[in-house]
Structure 1
Amino acid sequence: MYPQNFRRPLTAVTLGLCALGVGVRTAHADPAPAFAELLAQSQATAPRLAEARADIARTQGLARQAAVFPNPTVGLQMENFSGSGPYRGTTLSETTATVQQPLELGGKRQARMAAGRAEVTAAQARARSAQVDYAFDLAVGYATAEAADRRMLLAQETLTLAQEDARIASALVDAGREAELRRLQAQAAVQAARAGLDEAKAARATAFGNLTALTGSPAPLTSVAASLLDSRAPLAPGLTPASATAAAFVAAQAEREAAARRLQIERRRAVPDVTVSFGFRRFEEADATAMIAGISVPLPLFDRNRGNIDAARAEISAADARLNAARLEAEAAVRVSETRIAAAETRVVAAREGERTAEEAYRLARVGYEAGKLPLVELVNARRALADARAQTIAAAVERIGAQAAQARLGGFATPGEQ
């Protein structure tokens, strides 16, 4: 038999790893708050949402500008002065002061105002779609970061178990019950587990870096304060496929309406505008003043705005295509939404059951190896199966959150529990 101090039950190792995991988490100075809180906080810091708000402000400014009238033109003209002969000086000069006012015909101003309102509506719809997409991306990013954290702890656990198994193998080799090859194999497994831990640490740093960039947080996020993967509350409570309306589809509808309004503007621009003028003329020689008035209309012989009208029609065709694509994507998402969530829930249950089975298999393999009834390869395979089972549990939880987030995005939910 090998020394008693190497006969350590799996529960003792697990408890030690749990303590290690707590130490890792508490060492982080800037944990991300719970998902709902982080989503609320990031509304003011996320660059993507700031861009959407700026787009709304831009269209509102353009809409206000569309309602203004053309400015009048004030003119002052002096003739017949500082010449030769009788036109020396200003004795025979004529001075004309005029005010010219363009008059827009064909409903141009009304068309601009309608287009401005449509652009504001489209920008608001795009901002809403951006908020919904952002909530989806943040949920996935949060779950990914939490999963990376768990995978790092799993890699640390795998390393600790590999080291414990290597100590057992070394003790058996020293006792003459195993060949030296078993010690080398166990040490190789330790090195592989250590490399896996380094990879998991790098993946974790990347995941939290991406989460920090996504939220626009001024301080790096290095851990999560509350689990999203273990949360049982749906991200979009009360949502059914029948009640779902994709925000992207609504935005596409608004953009199509804005394109139609822009076409109306281009059609109205083909109508010539009239410029009326009114003023006074001063005759120095006669010491008299006379009123003048005039009207001018451009002749649409060459420029009838055909190119801009055709371009606006093409924009409508493109908007129709985007609207149709958004409709088809929304319909497809509605059909698979419930199925995907149900499949994800089933996978989570199956993964957890598989993890419990793998834990028991590893415990029995370890007992059998310590007793000399099983070879080292059986223990290694059992440990690898346990790590794979736990990784599958993490992946299943991430998939479940992704399915819930996709359904929430489909329903236009920008915050958890939004109705």
Structure 2
Amino acid sequence: MSLIFSRPLFLVGFTAAAAFTLAPSALAEPAPTYEALLEKLDQNPLSIESMAAHEAAEGRALQAHARPNPTISLEAENAYGSGPFNGYDAADTTFSISQPLELWGQRGARIDAAQAQVEVTGIRRDQMRWVLSANLAQAYAEAEAASLRYDLAAQALSLTQADAEAVLALIDKGREAALRGVQAESEVEAARANVDVARANREAAFGRLSALSMLAEPITSIGDDLLNRVPQSITSEPRELPAVKVAKAELDAAERQVNVERLRARPDVTAAFGVRRFEEYRAEALAFGVSVTLPLFDRNTGAISAARAEQRAAEARLTSQEWAAQAERRAAQSSLDASISRTAAADAGEVAAEEAYRLARIGFDAGRISQLELRSSRAALIAAGNNAVDARLARALAEIALARLVGRAPFVETF
């Protein structure tokens, strides 16, 4: 049983007294469900950016399959000179076509490197999906918590007002000093200020959720959704962590790029074939040949060194990610387990605080306990309610952190 999540009978009276304070929130349309907002994540600019980056990599991979274009040339020699070469009658005209030849496996290496980049961007696209879903879940859970804290503050105000009225009644009967009434009124004003602060925090949390969800209309209320969900305590996650998958894909891409740069140092070979026309003899003959570049000045050593350095950096990142990811996964799992236990303890503490306040109120009305004891019981009840909200929020954040780490949407099995 909980002050917020299931109200006991003794709270019915002051819940009615708080109706005016809660009316704007209670009458408003609630926010879309978490699952409904998840379905719209593809419209998020960051999601669109990651998908576009993947499509760009796919386009470059497609382009990597293309072979170099041939070159067509038309040349004329021994024409429009002097002496016997006056005019065009002694000219030699050559029409030829030349084709660069990608030898040494250069084309295959280029295709492999481009395909490796497709793998990297594909994993990053999926990783962005989990990050966005985690951000959404966190904003949703924090908005829920802010709404519950506002309800708690309003209920605390009602409790304080009810206790103040009881104190004033005792003062009228001469059973309490007038000073107690001043103290009670001061407590009411402090509780009213807490309501204003909680309202501001709630509106800020609603604004963040509205902006993150790109909703046309701002959120004005939210129902209990994520905070009441109890995530399963899973001792092991079979899947490979996204951060490690990205690091492995980047290392593979770096290794393939080293091969590309190494093969670029090989000579470029071009084959040519054509027909030559001899105007003087009214005859034709074939012309063909092969040209090869000499790697005297540019052996691509700088690019090879850079590619190998990037490979070493990728290897270091992979090693770092493997160690860090395992540690973070164990920490996230431990945090989730602890938060589940904390929530159970907070609920039990709240039940005890509710009963303690109920008995304290009965004792105060009967004149058996002091106002100080009643105030202490009320403060303990309010603190227990806030502690229950904090425990549920911590449990939700632990589930969100674990889901982001292992690569899945929080609180859902498939997404």
TM class by shorter chain equals: 0.7 to 0.9
SS in structure 1 of the partner of residue 157 of structure 2: helix
CA contact (8 A) 1:80 1:92 kept: yes
Select the residue among 149, 167, 188 that pairs with 1:151: 149
Deviation at 1:61, TM superposition (A): 0.8
1:135/1:250 Cα in 2 relative to 1: closer, same or farther (>3 Å)?
Answer: same
Deviation at 1:109, TM superposition (A): 0.8
Letter in 1 for 2:35: A
Quote the residue 2:414 is aligned against: 418
Select the residue among 171, 183, 186 that pairs with 1:185: 183
Deviations 1:143-180 (A, max 9, x none): 21111111111111122223333334444455554444
Quote the residue 2:3 is aligned against: none
Quote the residue 1:389 is aligned against: 384
Deviations 1:278-304 (A, max 9, x none): 233444455444433332222212211
Between 1:254-263 and 1:95-104, the stretch displaced more is 95-104
Deviation at 1:81, TM superposition (A): 5.7
Deviation at 1:68, TM superposition (A): 0.8
Letter in 2 for 1:68: A
Quote the residue 1:6 is aligned against: none
Deviations 1:365-387 (A, max 9, x none): 33444445544443333322222
Select the residue among 289, 304, 311 that pairs with 2:306: 311
Quote the residue 1:5 is aligned against: none
1:91/1:347 Cα in 2 relative to 1: closer, same or farther (>3 Å)?
Answer: same
Paired with 1:111 and 1:326, the residues of 2 have a C-alpha distance of: 27
SS in structure 1 of the partner of residue 266 of structure 2: coil
Q: Does 1:332 find its partner at 2:327?
A: yes
Letter in 2 for 1:36: E
Quote the residue 2:29 is aligned against: 29
Q: Residues 114-263 of structure 1: matches in 2 within 5 Å?
A: 114-173=112-171, 175-232=173-230, 234=232, 239-241=234-236, 243-263=238-258
Deviation at 1:132, TM superposition (A): 2.7
Paired with 1:283 and 1:206, the residues of 2 have a C-alpha distance of: 87
SS in structure 2 of the partner of residue 278 of structure 1: strand
Between 1:122-131 and 1:239-248, the stretch displaced more is 239-248
Quote the residue 2:108 is aligned against: 110
Quote the residue 2:317 is aligned against: 322
Deviation at 1:315, TM superposition (A): 1.6
Quote the residue 1:38 is aligned against: 37
Paired with 2:188 and 2:146, the residues of 1 have a C-alpha distance of: 21
SS in structure 2 of the partner of residue 224 of structure 1: coil
| Moved segments of 4+, more than 6 Å | 82-88
1:78/1:156 Cα in 2 relative to 1: closer, same or farther (>3 Å)?
Answer: farther
Deviation at 1:410, TM superposition (A): 4.4
Letter in 2 for 1:417: E
Quote the residue 2:400 is aligned against: 405
Deviation at 1:102, TM superposition (A): 1.1
1:77/1:165 Cα in 2 relative to 1: closer, same or farther (>3 Å)?
Answer: farther
CA contact (8 A) 2:264 2:300 kept: yes
Quote the residue 1:4 is aligned against: none
Paired with 2:302 and 2:226, the residues of 1 have a C-alpha distance of: 54
Paired with 1:221 and 1:92, the residues of 2 have a C-alpha distance of: 88
Root mean square deviation of aligned Cα = 3.1
Deviations 1:330-364 (A, max 9, x none): 32234345433332121111111111222223333
Select the residue among 69, 75, 98 that pairs with 1:100: 98
Paired with 2:110 and 2:162, the residues of 1 have a C-alpha distance of: 76
Paired with 1:82 and 1:201, the residues of 2 have a C-alpha distance of: 94
Deviation at 1:308, TM superposition (A): 1.4
Paired with 1:284 and 1:142, the residues of 2 have a C-alpha distance of: 85
Gaps of 5+ in 2: 1-8
Quote the sequence identity (%): 41
TM-score of the superposed pair, with normalisation by structure 1 = 0.85
SS in structure 2 of the partner of residue 280 of structure 1: strand
SS in structure 1 of the partner of residue 338 of structure 2: helix
Deviations 1:380-407 (A, max 9, x none): 3332222211111011111112223334
Deviation at 1:181, TM superposition (A): 3.8
Deviations 1:208-239 (A, max 9, x none): 232233334444344334522112363x8xx5
Paired with 1:87 and 1:218, the residues of 2 have a C-alpha distance of: 81
CA contact (8 A) 1:245 1:410 kept: no
Paired with 1:244 and 1:285, the residues of 2 have a C-alpha distance of: 78
Deviation at 1:45, TM superposition (A): 2.1
Deviations 1:83-114 (A, max 9, x none): 77877765555544332211122211101111
Deviations 1:28-64 (A, max 9, x none): 235221x33432x124323333222222211111111
SS in structure 1 of the partner of residue 182 of structure 2: helix
Deviation at 1:318, TM superposition (A): 2.0
1:85/1:370 Cα in 2 relative to 1: closer, same or farther (>3 Å)?
Answer: farther
Paired with 1:17 and 1:401, the residues of 2 have a C-alpha distance of: 31
1:226/1:180 Cα in 2 relative to 1: closer, same or farther (>3 Å)?
Answer: closer
Deviations 1:115-157 (A, max 9, x none): 1222222222222222233333333222211111111111111
CA contact (8 A) 1:70 1:102 kept: yes
Letter in 2 for 1:116: A
1:254/1:20 Cα in 2 relative to 1: closer, same or farther (>3 Å)?
Answer: farther
CA contact (8 A) 1:42 1:216 kept: no
TM-score of the superposed pair, with normalisation by structure 2 = 0.85
SS in structure 2 of the partner of residue 74 of structure 1: strand
Paired with 1:182 and 1:283, the residues of 2 have a C-alpha distance of: 123
Between 1:145-154 and 1:403-412, the stretch displaced more is 403-412
Deviation at 1:327, TM superposition (A): 1.3
CA contact (8 A) 2:231 2:399 kept: no
